[in-house]
Structures are given as structure tokens and as C-alpha cells.
Homo-oligomer: A and B are copies of this chain.
Amino acid sequence: MQNEEPIKDANELLEKLENLHPSDIAYSLRKIENESVDDFFYVLKTIPDELLGEVLLELPDNLREAAYTELSIQRLTDAVDLLESDDATDIIQEIEEIDIEKAKEIYDGLEEEDKKDIEWLKRYEEDEAGAYMQTELFSAKLNETVGESIQRLKTAKANDELINIHQVFVVNEEKSLIASISLEDLIIFDFDKTYEEILNQADEFKYKPFKVSDNTHIDEVAKQVEQYDLNVVAVVGYQDMLMGRITSDDILDVIEQNATEQMYQLAGVNEGFEHEDNLITTAKKRAIWLFLNLGTAILASLVIGLFDQTIQAYVALAILMPIVASMGGNAGTQTLAVMVRQLALGDIELENAKDAVKKEVFISLVNGLLFAIIMGIIAWIWFDEKLLGLVIALSMVVNLFSAGFFGASIPLVLKKFNIDPAVGSTVLLTTVTDIVGFFSFLMLAKVILL
């Protein structure tokens, strides 16, 4: 069984290394580092090259950075040399951010072919498919026999050059991707046949490869992997030239990361700055959102200020007014979360957006009426004033309606303008529900009560 208790003793961990998955080693190292930083570095310096790179990749950012500083150029070079191209590139780029000289020396120590791959992969923006692809893959030419290609696979595997192979990518003379044949099909073929023969006999669409262009946005790649239940996507460049592949484990991380970002954005948190060592930086980034919220809150206060005499005449209004704003804010948040998420998942699209808005408005009206009655009666009894109950009831309907309408519309409008619907929509919505909440309540009170 996996997921055993972490090993907290440095020497015990080193002894058991070979039975452990790099992810488990990294987990144990986190525990060891908690107890003693020296032990942490001792293990890192002692574990074999073929594990070091994989373990580094599984460590949290701050520990990985510490390791980059502490480990020698030679050790880092050996570790990077054994990684797949995408991971090697990530590590080199991370070291560059800390110590550009060290990164350069490590890079210089790599094999020529690895250098070329890394140079190429570094060109991509971090959200492009190319930045996620590994260049190591199993490909075959049309005129090759299955047996010949398997012989190459055997050699590559013996040299630890290829792992995680699920299919052979068939390319033509120009290296354009023609077909993708999964190993489950390959293994039952006649090994003496050429790929050309196999493809000619097969149904045209049977081995059609799933592919994306190297500059495709990674979120789009993730959508395709999800939609078509893929294990691997081929990445192609100019004229469909096969460049690399992206595996589902990378996509899983992308999906998890995107969900985190969305949750954070709705809460006014900038995901990218949450793992900073310097807490002041994290605090600053959060302060930006709080600052926007302060603006909203002051606007709401200005609205209240318009009715200062009404409040002075009826102090019950000051007591009750946060209820209306709070209920509107909450109902709006419900709608917002549903809209943002369903837009992200593709369950709602701009075309059928009208139905979604109608649905949300209907729900908010139903609940507006429900809570109008409840809160109307409570206010009436509490302050023994029937009209006050009427004021809060009417205001509840108005505010929950606008919460539903704007909670549904704001993300759609943002999306229409190609802005991420999760970003800023909470602040915009709060502005609406606060202002509508306070204004409707106090205005109705002024008209009805005074």
C-alpha cells in the first residue's frame, strides 16, 4: 500500500529510498526539514542522481529553492540531465531566477541534445502547450516495420530515455504527424508489417491522432483532454510537425491549479503571490483587493449618508439596514459562484446565457419573496411597527432580485469583453448589492415611514 507514514529519520529514509516513490521521498523530506534543516540537506546531498531531480520536482517551492542554493553545480547538472525535457527546462528556469550564473553553468554541463530541447522549450509562454510538452516520445516512420520500431523502443528504454509511453506516433518523411496508435493495438499487430501497411488497411479515423498546436493555450488543451478522455495529446508545430506530447498527469495539475485560481479570484486573492516567503508581499497583493472593497464600502456609506436625517428620526433603520445588504450579498454570491463555475466548465455559454440569467432571476425572486415575508414579520414584531415590516419586505425583494440579476450578468459581461469572469466580479457585485440594499431600504423608509 502506498501513502505510508512519512519517514522522519534521515538515515532510515536513505536506507529505504529505492522502495519509495519520489513523491513519498519528498513528503518525508518535508517532515525532516521541519525537524532539522541540516538533515534535510544531508538527505538531498546523499540521494542518487536518478532520484534527485524527481524529488526536487515534488518539493514545495520554498524547499526547492533552498535546495537549488545548497546543492553543488555538479549534482544539479547530473540530476537535471536525467529529467525529461519539460521538467529539466522548469528547473533551469527556476534556478535562473535565483542565480543566473549557476543556471548557466548547469546548462553548459548538459548534453548537446538536451541543451537544444531546453533552448526550444524556453521560448514558450508559460500558458502555451509547448511549455508543458515533453519532447521525449516514441515515434515511427511510415516505411518502418512495427518490429523495427519496437526494437528502438527497447534500446531507448534500456538507456532510460523513455518512460510513460502509451502510443507510437507515426510520422511521414516531413515529420508531420499522421497517426497515433496505442500500444494496446500495436502489441497485437503483426510485427513484420510496416506502419504504412497497417494504416492502409485500417479505417480512416481509427488512428486519427489527437493533437494541439504548440501555441494552443494550456486551458484549451485541458478541455480537450477532459472532453475526449485522453491520456496523451500530441503537440505539433508548423505543418503538423510532431514536436512533443503532453500527458494527462500534467493536465490534472492544470485543472487543479485553475480551480484554485478561480476560488481565490472570487475571494479576492491572487494565487501567484500566496506562496511567497515574504509575507509582506502576500499582504500587499491581498491589500489591493481590500482597497477595491474599501472603495465599494465607502460608496455604500455615501448612500447611507444621503439619509442621515431619516436614520436620526428612526434609529431602527440603522439596526436593520445591514440585514438587507447582507442577504443581497449572499444571494448574489450564490449566483456568482454558479455562473463563474459553469462558464469555466462550459456548461453555460454566451449563446444560452439568457436561460441562465432567467433561471437565476427566477430563483432570486422566489427567495426574495420568501425572505421578504420572514423578515417583514420579524421587523414588524421586533419594533412593533407594521410599516417598518413593509419597508424591509419590499427592500428584500428589490435587493434579492438585483442580486440574482447582477450576479448572473456581471460574469457574462466580463466574459463578453474577454475578461476572466472570476476576476473582480465579487467586488462589482458587492458594490451593486450594497448600494441597492441600502438605497432601497432607506429610500422606501423615507417615503413610507416619514
A207 to chain B, nearest CB (A): 13
- Choose among B211, B290, B370 the residue that contacts A330 (Cβ–Cβ < 8 A): B290
- Choose among B138, B164, B184 the residue that contacts A153 (Cβ–Cβ < 8 A): B184
A284 to chain B, nearest CB (A): 8
CB of A266 within 8 A of CB of B337, answer yes
- Choose among B19, B322, B375 the residue that contacts A300 (Cβ–Cβ < 8 A): B322
- Once the chains are docked, how many angstroms separate the CA of A186 from the CA of B153? 11
Tell me how many residues of A have a C-beta within 8 Å of chain B: 112
CB of A205 within 8 A of CB of B18, answer yes
- Once the chains are docked, how many angstroms separate the CA of A166 from the CA of B167? 10
A418 to chain B, nearest CB (A): 18
CB of A319 within 8 A of CB of B305, answer yes
- Once the chains are docked, how many angstroms separate the CA of A282 from the CA of B367? 10
- Once the chains are docked, how many angstroms separate the CA of A183 from the CA of B162? 13
User: So how many copies of this chain end up in the complex?
Assistant: 2
A336-378 CB mask vs B (1 if < 8 Å, else 0) is: 1110110001010000100000010011001100110011001
CB of B305 within 8 A of CB of A153, answer no
A327 in contact (CB, < 8 A): yes
- Choose among B224, B267, B319, B321 the residue that contacts A333 (Cβ–Cβ < 8 A): B267
- Once the chains are docked, how many angstroms separate the CA of A165 from the CA of B167? 11
- Choose among B21, B363, B434 the residue that contacts A322 (Cβ–Cβ < 8 A): B434
Identify which of residues 291-346 in chain A touch chain B, using a CB-to-CB cut-off of 8 Å. Answer: 293-294, 296-298, 300-301, 304-305, 308, 311-312, 315-323, 325-327, 330-331, 333-334, 336-338, 340-341, 345
Cβ–Cβ < 8 Å partners of A296 in chain B = 326
CB of B2 within 8 A of CB of A224, answer yes
- Choose among B183, B252, B323, B366 the residue that contacts A183 (Cβ–Cβ < 8 A): B183
Nearest B residue to A18, CB-CB: B205
A306 to chain B, nearest CB (A): 9
A206 to chain B, nearest CB (A): 10
Q: List 14 A-B contacts (CB under 8 A).
A: A2-B228, A18-B205, A19-B205, A226-B252, A226-B256, A231-B231, A248-B248, A264-B341, A279-B366, A290-B371, A297-B322, A300-B322, A304-B322, A322-B434
Cβ–Cβ < 8 Å partners of A371 in chain B = 287, 290, 294
- Once the chains are docked, how many angstroms separate the CA of A164 from the CA of B229? 10
A430-450 CB mask vs B (1 if < 8 Å, else 0) is: 100010001000000000000
A389 in contact (CB, < 8 A): no
A280 in contact (CB, < 8 A): yes
- Once the chains are docked, how many angstroms separate the CA of A290 from the CA of B372? 12
CB of B322 within 8 A of CB of A311, answer no
Cβ–Cβ < 8 Å partners of A366 in chain B = 279-280, 283
A189 to chain B, nearest CB (A): 9
A225 in contact (CB, < 8 A): yes
CB of A267 within 8 A of CB of B311, answer no
A202 in contact (CB, < 8 A): no
- Once the chains are docked, how many angstroms separate the CA of A359 from the CA of B280? 10
- Once the chains are docked, how many angstroms separate the CA of A145 from the CA of B305? 85
Nearest B residue to A320, CB-CB: B301
| Given A262-B263, A283-B367, A330-B289; A256-B362 close (CB under 8 Å) | no
- Once the chains are docked, how many angstroms separate the CA of A316 from the CA of B184? 75
A159 in contact (CB, < 8 A): no
CB of A153 within 8 A of CB of B188, answer yes
- Choose among B263, B333, B378 the residue that contacts A298 (Cβ–Cβ < 8 A): B378
Given contacts A248-B248, A263-B266, 16 further A-B contacts (CB under 8 A): A2-B210, A3-B223, A60-B347, A183-B183, A183-B184, A187-B187, A225-B252, A231-B248, A248-B249, A262-B263, A269-B334, A269-B338, A283-B362, A287-B371, A308-B318, A317-B318
A121 to chain B, nearest CB (A): 19
Please give me the 8 A-B residue pairs with the lowest Cβ-Cβ distance, nearest first. A259-B259, A267-B337, A229-B249, A318-B318, A183-B183, A165-B184, A154-B188, A297-B323
A287 to chain B, nearest CB (A): 5
- Once the chains are docked, how many angstroms separate the CA of A313 from the CA of B316? 14
